Structure 1
Amino acid sequence: MTEIQAVLCGYYGKGNGGDEALLIAMLEMLPPTVKPLVLSANPRATSKSYGVKSCDRMNSGSVLRALKESQVLILGGGSLIQDATSMRNSIYYGGLIGLARQFGLQTIAIAQGIGPLNQPLTRWIAKRAFENCTALSVRDPASAALLAQWGISSEIAPDPVWSLGATPVPEIANISSPKIALTLRSHPQLTNQRLDAVTQALVDLQAATGGHVLLVPFQPTTDMDIAEQIRAELTDNSQVVTLSDPKQLKGLFQGVDLAIGMRYHSLIMAAAEGCKCWAIGYDPKVSKLMTEIDIPGWELADIPTDPGVITQAWKQHLETGTALSAKSRQSLHQKSLAHQDLLATAISKIQG
């Protein structure tokens, strides 16, 4: 079969463990006859880490050359078209799809989490972008429902990170239990008062359980300050853990007893590895995940102000809560491979 080149775009090269995990999953899902070219914020690091061609996602000349040299554009997972943070994401990815179509490329969107789309302009951009896709899959029913309102069909399957392999981290595996992992990220609603309450609750939980606390900055450039701030309040039975390999990041959760997470993919990784999870919902995608796989937790704005209430909830879940069953984990793993099947079918049609 004829070899083709595909441009992969997403939130790649930003040092975000979840998005890097999506990139690895996308690369592993590509048929062997597809040569990837990844648009990245750090193309040198992306090329070195994954052995692929890469170019600067914000260099217009490089992006145009990449599109002209390729036959297909793939939006590779995540909440790419949304305006929760700004309208720039929707404009960038919508514009990229428009350019690709002008150059005659087929466009495929895989494992999308669509929205929030609060502005009329971003809703228009999203509708136009997804109408032009040759094949389209989403990772949650709400995204599929939004597309259906626009008369656009899509396939629903769990996030590809459910099926990503995990590499054990021996130095973490050998730590005595209970092990408690925390992944927080900066957010306007994570005020000093709320962060102080969470920190004190974690201090009290550690004292009550003798637990070893792992502070995991999924995107060190934005999460490290919070992790180090909390670490300073804990005993020596704690550490900040930074891992650049997404498979190791997933493997970190093997043997962790309780994972408390804001980061969407930290919760998926932890749940996939059999951890008890507690979510802090800062974004609709986290809230949807809490509902879909029955993860307890709070919306960020609703975190109790009393650290004692937080500690008690975490302690009770650690002692009596349940993790996702092995059967459910296997089902989610298997169902997530539907993205790969969709991609293979679409690519085979493009190759003729």
Structure 2
Amino acid sequence: MSHTRAVLCGYYGMGNVGDEALLVSLLQMLPESVEPIVLSGDPQTTQKQYGVVSCHRKSTFAILKALKQSEVFIWGGGSLMQDSTSIASPIYYAGLMALAQQQGLKTIAWAQGIGPLNKTFTRWLTQQVLLNCNAISVRDLASAALLNTWQIEPLIAPDPVWALQSDTVPELEDLPSPKVAVILRSHPLLTSDRLTTLIQALQDFQAHTNSFILLIPFQPAQDMAIAKEIAAQLQQHHTIMTFPDPKQLKGVFKAVKMAIGMRLHSLIMAAAEGCSCFALSYDPKVTQLMTELDLPGYELANIPQDFREISFAWQDHYNHGKVLAQSQIKSLIEQALDHQQLLSKIMIKSS
């Protein structure tokens, strides 16, 4: 069987386990005939952890060499094309996509969450590179609706992390139950006042439920300070744990009764493992997931000022909240595998 080389481009090697989960999902779904070259912020770790060829995402020479050696270029999942944080991100990813198209590679925008795109230039830039893609899949209806306004009809399927294989985490057996996972991230909407309110709510919630609080920083460089601040004020049992292996991280939620999460992939992983979820939305992608799965939660900008109200909502969900039915989880996993079918079709044409 002839081999196809594919350059995988995403927010990889940057210490964010949610994006690492997307990479592992993509590697899991690639046909066996594909040899990946991963663009990474930490190529040595990426190569060691996943057994793949990797080069630095900011090395022009290495990227050009990788493109010349390859037949396919893949945006590998996530919210790559958005300008809510800065204009640099969409320029970087669109620039690489355009360069790959210029060099004649087949290009795939895979499992994308497009937007927010608030600037006219970034909207135009995104439209141009997507119009020239050989295949496009998106992970939510809002992204599909935006692309439809550009006369682009993408494949729509749930986030690939739904289908990510999970591993068990034996060390969790030594921790008390019931366990409640808390996953917060740094963000302008998480002001010091709001964080204080959430910590007070968590103290009250723990006092009423006698739960063990498991604090999980998804991107330690950004989230660890918040986890430590919460831990310092919890008076009952708790711990901070990091999981650089996405499969292990997803497996954590098998042993967790309830997850309180800001990060999108914390909610997807938890829901996929049959854990009940309460969302704190800082971004339209989280709000979209809340709507699609009918998850309880708050828009972070509008959380109640009275911590007791938040604690009561958490307690109510802890005691009475429903988890996704196994049939729904199975359906979401099967639909997520549509992203794999899209890859297979393009790779067959490229071989």
TM-score, L = length of structure 2: 0.99
- Which 10-residue stretch deviates more, 59-68 or 114-123? 59-68
Aligned alpha-carbon RMSD (Å): 0.9
SS at match of 1:114: coil
**What is the alpha-carbon distance in structure 2 between the residues aligned to residue 153 and residue 223 of structure 1?**
36
**What is the alpha-carbon distance in structure 2 between the residues aligned to residue 257 and residue 188 of structure 1?**
29
Q: Which residue of 2 aligns with 1:169?
A: 169
**What is the alpha-carbon distance in structure 2 between the residues aligned to residue 129 and residue 231 of structure 1?**
45
**Runs (5+) with no aligned partner, structure 1:** none
**What is the alpha-carbon distance in structure 1 between the residues aligned to residue 318 and residue 178 of structure 2?**
9
Q: Which residue of 1 aligns with 2:71?
A: 71
Q: Report the residue type matching 2:50 in the other structure.
A: Y
Q: Which residue of 2 aligns with 1:262?
A: 262
**What is the alpha-carbon distance in structure 1 between the residues aligned to residue 217 and residue 173 of structure 2?**
18
Aligned length: 351
Q: Which residue of 2 aligns with 1:193?
A: 193
Residue correspondence of structure 1 range 244-255 to structure 2 within 5 A? 244-255=244-255
Contact 1:173 1:254 in 2 (8 A): no
Residue correspondence of structure 1 range 34-53 to structure 2 within 5 A? 34-53=34-53
**What is the alpha-carbon distance in structure 1 between the residues aligned to residue 81 and residue 132 of structure 2?**
14
Q: Which residue of 1 aligns with 2:278?
A: 278
Q: Report the residue type matching 1:194 in the other structure.
A: R
**What is the alpha-carbon distance in structure 2 between the residues aligned to residue 346 and residue 75 of structure 1?**
14
**What is the alpha-carbon distance in structure 2 between the residues aligned to residue 173 and residue 133 of structure 1?**
47
SS at match of 1:232: helix
Q: Which residue of 1 aligns with 2:57?
A: 57
**What is the alpha-carbon distance in structure 1 between the residues aligned to residue 15 and residue 176 of structure 2?**
29
SS at match of 2:322: coil
SS at match of 1:252: helix
**What is the alpha-carbon distance in structure 2 between the residues aligned to residue 173 and residue 202 of structure 1?**
23
Contact 1:276 1:323 in 2 (8 A): yes
Contact 2:206 2:236 in 1 (8 A): no
Q: Which residue of 1 aligns with 2:291?
A: 291
TM-score, L = length of structure 1: 0.98
Q: Report the residue type matching 2:333 in the other structure.
A: H
Residue correspondence of structure 1 range 289-328 to structure 2 within 5 A? 289-328=289-328
**What is the alpha-carbon distance in structure 2 between the residues aligned to residue 30 and residue 270 of structure 1?**
24
Contact 1:38 1:53 in 2 (8 A): yes
**What is the alpha-carbon distance in structure 2 between the residues aligned to residue 247 and residue 180 of structure 1?**
19
**What is the alpha-carbon distance in structure 2 between the residues aligned to residue 2 and residue 128 of structure 1?**
32
Deviation string 1:134-184 (CA, Å, 9 cap, x unpaired) is 011100111111111101111000000000011111221443332111000
Deviation string 1:289-339 (CA, Å, 9 cap, x unpaired) is 000011110001011111111100000100011011111111101110000
Q: Which residue of 2 aligns with 1:237?
A: 237
**What is the alpha-carbon distance in structure 1 between the residues aligned to residue 251 and residue 260 of structure 2?**
16
Q: Which residue of 2 aligns with 1:11?
A: 11
Residue correspondence of structure 1 range 133-212 to structure 2 within 5 A? 133-212=133-212
CA shift at 1:129, angstroms?
1.2
Q: Report the residue type matching 2:130 in the other structure.
A: F
Contact 2:4 2:347 in 1 (8 A): no
Q: Which residue of 2 aligns with 1:214?
A: 214
Contact 2:182 2:216 in 1 (8 A): yes
Q: Percent of counterpart pairs with the same letter?
A: 55
CA shift at 1:236, angstroms?
4.8
CA shift at 1:103, angstroms?
1.1
SS at match of 1:36: strand
Q: Report the residue type matching 2:133 in the other structure.
A: C
CA shift at 1:255, angstroms?
2.4
Deviation string 1:230-272 (CA, Å, 9 cap, x unpaired) is 0011135100011110000001111211100000000000000
**What is the alpha-carbon distance in structure 1 between the residues aligned to residue 211 and residue 4 of structure 2?**
51
**What is the alpha-carbon distance in structure 2 between the residues aligned to residue 256 and residue 10 of structure 1?**
29
CA shift at 1:102, angstroms?
1.4
Contact 1:25 1:160 in 2 (8 A): yes
**What is the alpha-carbon distance in structure 2 between the residues aligned to residue 118 and residue 210 of structure 1?**
44
SS at match of 1:253: helix
Q: Report the residue type matching 1:90 in the other structure.
A: P
Q: Report the residue type matching 1:49 in the other structure.
A: Q
